[in-house]
Structure 1
Amino acid sequence: MASTVEYGDVEYDDVESGSAENGSIAYDYVVVGGGTAGSVIASRLTENPDISVAVIEGGPSDVDRPDVLTLRRWMGLLGGDLDYDYPTTVQPRGNSHIRHSRARVLGGCSSHNTLIAFKPLPSDWDEWAAAGAEGWDAASMDPYFGRLRNNVVPVDELDRNAIARDFVDAAQAALGVPRVEGFNKKPFHEGTGFFDLAYHPENNKRSSASVAYLHPFLDRPNLHLLLETWAFRLELDGTRATGVRVRTADGAERLITARTEVLVCAGAVDTPRLLMHSGIGPRADLEALGIPVTHDLPGVGENLLDHPESVIVWETDGPIPENSAMDSDAGLFVRRDPEIEGPDLMFHFYQIPFTDNPERLGYERPEHGVSMTPNIPKPRSRGRLYLTSADPQTKPALDFRYFTDEDDYDGRTLVDGIKIARQVAASEPLAHWLKREVAPGPEVTSDEELSAYARSVAHTVYHPAGTCRMGAVDDEQAVVAPDLKIRGLEGIRIADASVFPTMPAVNPMIGVLMVGEKCAELLTGASGTRGADRTTGADKATGVDKTTGAAGAAGTSGTA
């Protein structure tokens, strides 16, 4: 009998479970990372009762964790004990104080973010195909959205704050953009409205990857969740990946062996980090740190992408109503260039004064306020992730190179964003709520001043991607081929945001879920040949979790 770790009413396997082979612990598939894509893949593979799957997750369960499962509490998770909290290197043209939140909990960043849920636009997928990701065009990818188990719905009427409603009306009046009800109903170029979220409005519970894909199936005997177990090195036999070296919470080291494949789903930071500590990456960089090179792959860690944003803050004329799904429920997309397919500016409307970065410059946080965050959907700057030590526990360096694109497109986009935000704020019915502009302040008007402010207070919406990008099989800078296999290796694939060749114009969580669904299909064959769907208490059509003993049972009170 395998020993177990208990969380609430649910028992999880520890690393002594599985079958022993040559002193290791063996499963058919080993999934590194129980996050957004990893949850999908593990769930889909274990639909076949003859396939055993181990999920290696560095954090604890989200079961019976209202601090995790209650969507509106997302900001309380930033920088906490469930956050890997990666710093950014010095940014000569941007904010050097940005910290990138990466979740250390079952469900990954879908247990940690705002769950804003956009299907990537057709132009996003077609851009991937044009970059060499054959089979990832919009027509090929669209069916995977329909397979998602998550409960993706527009912000509920009861969660629609009065000031957010007036923001939407003001944006429509000021800019002439269409009002959108359900951003996932059809592709859009621009528009304003309330977001779609992956949540359950009746109790503000997340419909994260873990809630939708793992919680209903925790009784599957072939699904093994190895929690608080940290993967620090891949095991290779020549060019074939055979398993993963892990460290458990008590400091013990084990080898977890994969009979069929290792699936790396650790995210855009920890996937390239794990590869490089396993000797897979740019030869010169690894040799400089004394890491033995097992496979020279120059693209690992390159092409670091993000959605940078700035912020403009207003003090409101008194408090605003309390109701909200997660305090940033509405937004705006603008297309300045009519020649492009999708939007080139995005705004989140925060029902709080979002002044963390402006305060460092001397701005004061008002007692009551709101914010707009102009965001760059298609940034042109490209960064790099690299190791600074051969010690796997040392955090990697994240150099996003914000605002370093040759034509300063990214910087100019934020300047335009602040100007457009001011247009919306000056329009009714939003204008009567606002007492004064706090940051940058109405006296800051020139493009040069606005650019300096926008870049110095720039932040992230926690969307790192691209560090193991997908491309054609003959693309030497691509880390994975269109089948998600690592170039030059066998028995290993990557499925997470690191494989993104380019950044989608929208929040990427749904895109990562769809990557997980496609990876599962690549592993098991066409959807019609999957094992029987052993659903036990989940409504497949809606993704609603109806189990008991799993996280977030009825009564749970109430970041992408």
Structure 2
Amino acid sequence: MWNYILVSCMVLLVSLFYHCYFKKPISIIDYAEQTYDYIIIGAGTSGCVIASRLSERSNVTVLLVEAGGYFGWWSAIPLAAPLLQGSEVDWNYKTESQLYSSRGLQDRKQSLPRGKGLGGSGQMNYLVHSFGKPEDYKNWPKGWSHADLAPYFSRVSDSMKATLTSTEEYLVKAFAAAESTLGSANVTLQRAASTFSNGVRWSTYHAYLQKAWNRRNLHISMETLATKIETKDSRATGVELMFKNGSRGRIGVNRDVILCAGAFNTPQLLLISGIGPAEELEKHQIAVVKNITEVGKNLFDHFNVPIFANLIAPVSITLKKMQSFRQLFNYIVLGTGLWATNAVMGLARDNDSGVILFGMGSTDENLLRKLANIHTETYRSMFPSYNDSAYEGFLYLASCLKPKSRGTVKLRSRDIRDSPIIDPAYLQHPYDVSCTHRAIKLALRILATRVFRKFGASVHVPDFQECRDLRQDYRDPRYAECVMRMGGLTSHHPGGTCRLGMDPESVVDEYLRVKGIEGLRVIDASIMPAPISGTPNSVVISMAERASDLIKN
């Protein structure tokens, strides 16, 4: 057995060495040309798709600009996603102090990890695959309905290797069996689908960019920051860049500049380039190129309330199990076991209220408390497993799938290197509170089913000092609201800040062109008109696929 392990490790090291030193993609460049047909800003989830699809035509030239570099080997491990947060591959954004939520967090600020490097946030997310439900798209513009996107959903499911969670997991079996017990037409429970292959993360970096990065008509400039979109006579003419050594340059464009920088960085770059609300631009002494009032507005995000469930039966993922020789062997040698999962086991929905079953009990307090920017007292009150690596339990993440609260992204300064001012306004709208409470009650109903009682499942009720004057019961709406406003956390699903639409106030039209500026498009989560009832990553990939067809045609 030890010989087998040794040989496997040697093969791994040799392949890594060969990849690093002998297989450098020809698309990775040190110096860009003076002009390109297309310049894509951001090599994240959508940018990798657009770069791959547009460069399929050998008669066009494509430049992909990325502020970061490569992600480390940790990014390949699905369950290691939190280890990348707060590192050099994270933009490390935080919200402004929240008025209606985050009372148990440091300075009432949420941490907003965003991937910085090839693959973007798709290299550090939890890989959950979802397209929501058809009704989510009913008010989307012509060409972007559920029926219009359905062929792309099918294509993306294949290219991203979407697979359902194994039914061999005890908690998955229990979750699936609970649906018949609940007896409600509005309630659906299903196994989670995720995008990883043979225990390894599978993002658009793997599925799209790596297939394209040896094409001579595609250039990739890493550790290069786009500082401004240049325009003349209401047309995008090029991009101003800052390179790794601090020098600046200008690259011209023949056809389109395509922004794929995400829900925070895309509106920031538009504003710095003089495209956005005139009053915001004038405040920072930026010349107004085009007054588009909705740039940076309409920010939405799902907001999770972690509900901890205690277990007696040893059926969850714990730190102690993960650290065992058997699990390490299974992953390193066979690509299986706990490390080869993302711990997301099931999804439940009751109309617009949703629950995710995250099957991990014990957590690393020092790591997760810091990453979530949460007070020690808040963390320990919510997670009874904080000091026990063998603690059996799991989380229900309860949220409103179609929140009505809307926030903003604004400029901190006219310097692109200064992080934008991000205010999601979590729980500002009263509907989000009642909708989230319905999600919590759904979690409790599932937990009370016979299959979960068989595992000795029971809900943990946090003992927040701020909530002690209330009846300590999640079914009590006042107590549930208190917990929401104390310990609710971002789902990392921001979008909407450069809204797609046919109305005069929208930022991009049905062809994803920025209104009033020729040769400038936006293709990322910022264009989503409204939240979907699920995780948005695969929807963004599908939109990028359709956008590629629109541009090529």
CA contact (8 A) 2:165 2:193 kept: no
In structure 2, what is the equivalent of residue 533 of structure 1? none
Residues 1:198 and 2:195 are matched in the alignment: yes
Distance change in 2, residues 1:102/1:217 (3 Å) = same
Q: Report deviation, 1:481.
A: 0.7
Q: Report whether the alignment pairs 1:78 with 2:78.
A: no
Q: CA deviation at 1:165?
A: 2.6
Cα offset for 1:520?
0.8
- CA–CA separation in structure 1 for the residues paired with 2:400 and 2:343: 17
AA aligned to 1:417 is A
Q: Is contact 2:127-2:342 (8 Å) kept?
A: no
Distance in 1 between residues matched to 2:499 and 2:247, nearest whole Å: 33
Indicate how the Cα distance of structure 1 residues 351 and 29 shifts in structure 2: closer, same or farther if over 3 A, else same.
same
Length-normalised TM-score, structure 2: 0.82
2:329 aligns with none
Shift, 1:251, TM fit: 1.3
- For 1:76-115, what aligned pairs fall within 5 Å after superposition? 76-95=83-102, 96-115=108-127
> What do the CA deviations read for 1:500-531 (whole angstroms, capped 9, x no partner)?
11111111111101111111111111xxxxxx
Paired AA for residue 224 in structure 1 = H
The residue type equivalent to 1:31 in the other structure is I
Residue 493 of structure 1 is matched in structure 2 by 521
**Which residue of the partner structure matches residue 150 of structure 1?**
159
Cα distance in 2 between the residues matched to 1:426 and 1:120: 26
2:472 to 411, 424, 443: 443
Other-structure match for 1:41? 50
Identify which of 26, 29, 43 aligns with 2:38: 29
Q: Partner residue of 1:427? A: 449
* C-alpha contact 2:310 2:458 (8 A) present in aligned 1: yes
Alignment CA distance shift 1:464-1:84 (3 Å)? same
Work out the CA distance in 1 between the residues paired with 2:422 and 2:482: 22
User: Which letter does structure 2 place at the counterpart of 1:495?
Assistant: I
Q: Alpha carbons of 1:434 and 1:225: their partners in 2 closer, same or farther (altered >3 Å)?
A: farther
CA RMSD across the alignment: 2.3
> 8 Å contact 2:447–2:457 — kept in the other structure?
no
Alignment of 1:202-221 (within 5 A): 202=198, 204-221=199-216
Residue by residue over 1:261-287, the C-alpha shift from the partner in whole angstroms, topping out at 9 and shown as x without a partner, is 100010111000110111111111111
What is the CA distance between 1:196 and its match in structure 2?
A: 1.4
**1:278 aligned to which of 254, 265, 273:** 273
Aligned to 2:257: 262
* Equivalent position amino acid for 1:270 in 2: N
Deviation at 1:84, TM superposition (A): 0.7
Query: How far is the alpha carbon of 1:303 from its aligned partner?
Result: 0.3
| 3-state SS of 2:414 partner | coil
> CA deviation digits over 1:460-509, x for unaligned, max 9?
1111000000111xx33211011100010011100011111111111111
**Contact 1:192 / 1:330 at 8 angstroms: preserved in 2?**
no
1:232 CA displacement: 1.6
Q: CA deviation at 1:93?
A: 1.4
Matches of 2:51 and 2:377, distance apart in 1: 43
List aligned pairs for 1:344-383, cutoff 5 A. Answer: 344-353=352-361, 356=369, 357=374, 359-361=376-378, 363=381, 365-366=384-385, 367=388, 368=391, 369-383=393-407
Deviations 1:533-560 (Å, cap 9, x if unpaired)? xxxxxxxxxxxxxxxxxxxxxxxxxxxx
Name the residue aligned to 2:7: none
Q: Is the 8 A contact 2:54 2:62 kept in 1?
A: yes
What secondary structure sits across from 1:163 in the alignment? helix
Correspondence for 2:221 among 205, 222, 226: 226
| Matching residue within 290, 295, 301 for 1:300 | 295
Aligned pair count reads 484
The answer on whether the counterparts of 1:39 and 1:107 sit within 8 Å (CA) in structure 2 is: yes
Deviation at 1:424, TM superposition (A): 1.8
What do the CA deviations read for 1:178-206 (whole angstroms, capped 9, x no partner)?
Answer: 8xxxxxxxxxx642122111211x2x122
Alignment partner of 1:478 out of 477, 481, 506:
506
CA contact (8 A) 2:26 2:215 kept: no
Aligned to 2:421: 397
- Measure the CA separation in 2 of the matches of 1:333 and 1:14: 43
**Which residue of the other structure, out of 493, 497, 507, is the alignment partner of 1:467?**
497
C-alpha separation in 1, matches of 2:251 and 2:450: 60
The answer on whether the counterparts of 2:119 and 2:203 sit within 8 Å (CA) in structure 1 is: yes
Contact 2:190 2:346 in 1 (8 A): yes
1:10 is matched with: 24
The separation in 2 between residues aligned to 1:352 and 1:134, in whole angstroms, is 42
Shift of 1:13: 5.1
Distance 1:321 1:423 in 2: 19
Q: What's the secondary structure of 1:314's corresponding residue?
A: strand
Per the normalisation by structure 1, the TM-score is 0.81
Distance 1:190 1:7 in 2: 49
Separation in structure 2 between the aligned mates of residue 147 and residue 207 of structure 1, nearest angstrom: 15
CA–CA separation in structure 2 for the residues paired with 1:54 and 1:439? 52
Indicate conservation of the 8 Å contact 1:331/1:346, yes or no: no
Provide the secondary structure at the position in 2 that maps to 1:505: coil
Corresponding residue of 1:552: none
Distance (whole Å) between structure 1 residues aligned to residue 95 and residue 121 of structure 2: 18
Q: Report percent identity of matched pairs.
A: 28
CA distance in 1, matches of 2:515, 2:173: 49
The AA in structure 2 aligned to 1:127 is: N
C-alpha contact (below 8 Å) 2:39/2:257 kept by paired residues: yes
Distance 1:154 1:460, change over 3 A: same
3-state SS in 1 of match to 2:129:
coil
Please name the residue that 1:514 is paired with: 542
- Tell me how far apart the structure 2 counterparts of residues 381 and 432 of structure 1 sit (CA, whole Å): 39
Letter in 1 for 2:52: S
Amino acid at match of 2:36: Y
Could you give the per-residue CA deviations for residues 70-117 of structure 1, whole angstroms, max 9, x where no partner exists? 222212112222111211112221113311111002111211111211
- Equivalent of 1:237 in 220, 232, 243: 232
Distance in 1, Cα, partners of 2:543 & 2:176: 32
Q: Structure 1 pair 79/460, CA: closer, same or farther in 2 (3 Å)?
A: same
SS at match of 1:291: coil
* 1:161 and 2:169 matched: yes
Structure 1 equivalent of residue 346 of structure 2: 331
Once the two structures are superposed, what CA deviation does each residue of 1:35-75 show, in whole Å capped at 9, x if it has no partner? 1111111111111111111100111124xx43112222212
**Counterparts of 2:419 and 2:190, CA distance in 1:** 39
Structure 1 position 59 matched with structure 2 position 59:
no
Mapped partners of 1:177, 1:332: distance in 2: 16
